[in-house]
């Protein structure tokens, strides 16, 4: 008989990484249409840090004090009316919160089968960043073969995912980073044009594209890069912002945007209604999953921490030293 | 036998409205795929003022010194290989320039038949503003029935066109203007929610929409309204900028854009390649023209000037007193 409690990483009070503690909490039970996943790995996201500081509102229906927006693990309980997933299945997915725990309950319709031959730990590094990059660059901005994709912070989790998606979709990929070492690792992942951000990246992007600019820009930096992004946006270019780690406020030149017939879009996954998350999950299964199974894409794992060391994992993420994903293992 | 010269309104040197003069110029001949239109009416556009001042680059292949981005008239010469249009046809359309003239040469594929029962003069008030509003609001931003459309400068030519399109597409339309008299005239055209711009329009839009905001914003003002537009953009809202009469530079909050999952797009018609203009023309004929023929839409003519008084027409446009279009008649 299973215990009705479990371990979880809890935000004991809003604050620094030290407020994260392993605590005993109630083990959740799946309702109709839901499954419970015994979590093998959950990965860190920047939004977890904001949530820990009390600066990121958690969507309705998810635990307020247990972070964790993605999971990989094994289904260990199935709610009523679930037929797409069975007990024992290896699954991964995104969720609105609560994945920093031994077990998490999610709608069965948001579970994706772990690619054949991949460990649960590696799978834990896939969902949030590949969903985010796929949704932003491919589904929303319609990156097409032959176009140029500019990825800022290419060494981040989303950056490494976007780089792989861009190449798989036949685009020319340019990546920026402030760290030479990350650019080297991105080159090993297939990045064709690596640009050191602090050495005049807009001019470099202009040179690389022969003045044409980038058709799609995936931006995790925000404010400080907006002027540069406006300069390098190609005619009919699409600039999509998925993070504002550098700041949120900046000056925009609307006339320049008209001349380029360009767009700036902001997006976020977490707050979406379930139906949209299910639609995204299905598109991911159809269009992206086969690339993992064929070995053309791979999750990028920087470092694995035991779940009990979640505080250390957060502190590490805040140093910005990671290339790819930081995982918590149960 | 026709003379090989004609009258045209010429920008004699960059400057104020007084630099416009009626001059004798060479009558153009249609090449393959082109027709010559004997112009009955050409309407003014804000871009004509910028062009007159030497601040609007004219696209390649159009007269640099004859303004005029739209026309209505009668085909009086047909080039080789044209079969969609015949001599004597009443046509209207947009062009890259040169329509302030007794005759103008355009690709036959960009000509639209004047709606049955409409005068050539009225038809001259249709192309630029209805193409612009249709392209921006319907084709690019996909305004759907039941959505809310916010139109700034609703008394302008583009504003009055967008208002009619929004209603025909089943949207709730909110319009702003700085002039109470223009709002009254817009109400007579079917505007449901008229908002005086200087009396806290963002708060009023919030009240009208019950805090939801606008799904699509058609913006001719630009910079000074950006902060307000960000406030009233609905979840998944689309803000499209077709003019920056109030200024081009403004502060944007990218985090707010992410939270709304919103977009800001800039657009312009004139500089587009011919193939895109032809595609737009075809979509217009299919989706919008029937509304004119059924009497559900109508061009809005503010005032008609004889072509010889183009300078006075420009000076009048610069007072911003017009509601709808200002026409030059030949």
User: Which tens digits make up the pLDDT trace of B288-322?
Assistant: 999 999 999 999 999 999 999 999 999 999 999 99
Same domain, A74 and A122: yes
Same domain, A90 and A106: yes
Neighbours of A259 (CB within 10 A): 16
With CA atoms as reference, report the closest residue to B249 among B229, B226, B266, B231.
Answer: B226
ipTM given for this complex: 0.93
3 state DSSP class of A161: helix
Chain B residue with minimum CA distance to A272: B261
Picking from A237, A266, A295, the residue at the C-terminal end of a domain is A266
Q: Identify the CATH number of the domain in which residue B242 sits.
A: 3.40.50.720
Whether A258 sits inside 8 A of B252 (CB atoms) is no
Q: How far is B234 from chain A (nearest CA, A)?
A: 13
Backbone angles phi, psi at B292, to 5 degrees: -70, -45
Percent of chain B with pLDDT over 90: 95
Question: What is the pLDDT, as a whole number, of residue B1?
Answer: 45
* Contact A235/B at CB under 8 A: no
Handedness of CA A140, B136, B273, A265 (dihedral sign): negative
Q: Say what the pTM is.
A: 0.93
Question: Cβ contacts (< 8 Å) between A261 and chain B: which residues?
Answer: 265-268
With CA atoms as reference, report the closest residue to A44 among A268, A316, A288, A272.
Answer: A316
The pLDDT tens digits of the residues spanning B187-238 come to 999 999 999 999 899 999 999 999 999 999 999 999 999 999 999 999 999 9
Same domain, A242 and A133: yes
Handedness of CA B19, B21, B27, B30 (dihedral sign): positive
Question: What is the pLDDT, as a whole number, of residue A1?
Answer: 45
Chain A residue with minimum CA distance to B245: A255
Question: Cβ contacts (< 8 Å) between B264 and chain A: which residues?
Answer: 252, 254, 257, 263-265
CB-based contact A141:A236 (threshold 8 Å): no
Q: How far is residue B195's CA from residue A13's CA, in Å, rounded to a whole number?
A: 46
Question: Cβ contacts (< 8 Å) between B234 and chain A: which residues?
Answer: none
Average pLDDT over residues B273-297: 95
Same domain, B32 and B146: no
The pLDDT tens digits of the residues spanning B1-50 come to 467 999 999 999 999 999 999 999 999 999 999 999 999 999 999 999 99
> Which residues, 6 or more positions from A19, have their beta carbon under 8 angstroms from its beta carbon?
A11, A12, A13, A52, A311
Question: Cβ contacts (< 8 Å) between B255 and chain A: which residues?
Answer: 222, 244, 248, 266
Same domain, B149 and B241: yes
Picking from A230, A247, A266, the residue at the C-terminal end of a domain is A266
Per-residue b or e along A227-239, where b marks 16 or more CB atoms closer than 10 Å to that residue's CB:
ebbbbbbbeebbb
Same domain, A46 and A115: yes
With CA atoms as reference, report the closest residue to A285 among A107, A131, A141.
Answer: A131
The CA-based angle A263-A266-A271, given to 5 degrees, is 150
* Contact A250/B at CB under 8 A: yes
Question: What is the pLDDT, as a whole number, of residue A2?
Answer: 62
Same domain, A137 and A247: yes
The pLDDT tens digits of the residues spanning A122-153 come to 999 999 999 999 999 999 999 999 999 999 99
Same domain, A117 and A151: no
Of A254, A258, A261, nearest to B223 by CB-CB distance is A254
**Number of domains within chain A:** 2
Average pLDDT over residues B121-149: 97
Structural domain containing residue A121 = 5-126+270-329
Whether B254 sits inside 8 A of A250 (CB atoms) is yes
Same domain, B136 and B254: yes
Mean pLDDT for chain B?
Answer: 96
- The token pair at B44 is 């003014």
Question: What is the pLDDT, as a whole number, of residue B59?
Answer: 87
Picking from A266, A296, A321, the residue at the C-terminal end of a domain is A266
Same domain, B189 and B284: no
Same domain, B284 and B299: yes
Q: How far is residue A288's CA from residue A291's CA, in Å, rounded to a whole number?
A: 6
Q: What tens-digit pLDDT sequence spans chain A (330 residues)?
A: 467 999 999 999 999 999 999 999 999 999 999 999 999 999 999 999 999 999 988 888 899 999 999 999 999 999 999 998 999 999 999 999 999 999 999 999 999 999 999 999 999 999 999 999 999 999 999 999 999 999 999 999 999 999 999 999 999 999 999 999 999 999 999 999 999 999 899 999 999 999 999 999 999 999 999 999 999 999 999 999 999 999 999 999 999 999 999 999 999 998 899 999 999 999 999 999 999 999 999 999 999 999 999 999 999 999 999 999 999 999
Same domain, B288 and B225: no
Question: Cβ contacts (< 8 Å) between B260 and chain A: which residues?
Answer: 266
Q: How far is residue A234's CA from residue A220's CA, in Å, rounded to a whole number?
A: 19
User: Using the 8-state DSSP alphabet, how is residue A59 labeled?
Assistant: P
* Contact B275/A at CB under 8 A: no
* Contact A224/B at CB under 8 A: no
């Amino acid at each position: 008989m299973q215990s009705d409690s479990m371990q979880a990483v809890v935000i004991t009070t809003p604050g620094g990484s030290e407020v994260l503690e392993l605590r005993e909490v109630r083990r959740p039970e799946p309702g109709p249409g839901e499954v419970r996943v015994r979590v093998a790995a959950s990965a860190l996201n920047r939004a977890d840090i904001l949530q820990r500081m009390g600066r990121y509102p958690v969507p309705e229906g998810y635990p307020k004090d247990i972070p964790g927006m993605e999971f990989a693990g094994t289904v260990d309980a199935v709610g009523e009316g679930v037929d797409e997933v069975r007990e024992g299945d290896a699954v991964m997915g995104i969720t609105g919160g609560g994945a920093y725990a031994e077990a998490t309950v999610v709608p069965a319709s948001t579970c994706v089968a772990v690619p054949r031959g991949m460990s649960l730990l590696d799978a834990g590094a896939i969902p949030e960043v590949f969903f985010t990059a796929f949704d932003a660059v491919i589904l929303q901005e319609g990156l097409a073969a032959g176009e140029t994709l500019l990825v800022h912070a290419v060494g981040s989790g989303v950056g490494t995912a976007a780089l792989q998606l861009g190449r798989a979709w036949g685009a020319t990929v340019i990546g920026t980073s402030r760290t030479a070492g990350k650019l080297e690792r991105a080159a090993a992942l297939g990045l064709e044009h690596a640009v050191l951000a602090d050495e005049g990246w807009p001019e470099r992007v202009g040179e690389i594209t022969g003045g044409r600019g980038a058709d799609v820009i995936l931006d995790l930096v925000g404010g400080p890069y907006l002027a540069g992004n406006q300069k390098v946006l190609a005619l009919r270019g699409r600039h999509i912002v998925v993070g504002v780690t550098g700041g949120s406020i900046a000056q925009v030149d609307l006339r320049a945007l008209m001349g380029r017939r360009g767009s700036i879009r902001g997006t976020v996954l977490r707050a979406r209604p379930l139906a949209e998350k299910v639609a995204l999950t299905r598109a991911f299964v159809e269009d992206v999953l086969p690339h993992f199974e064929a070995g053309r894409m791979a999750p990028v794992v920087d470092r694995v921490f035991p779940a009990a060391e979640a505080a250390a994992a957060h502190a590490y993420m805040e140093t910005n030293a990671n290339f790819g994903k930081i995982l918590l293992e149960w």
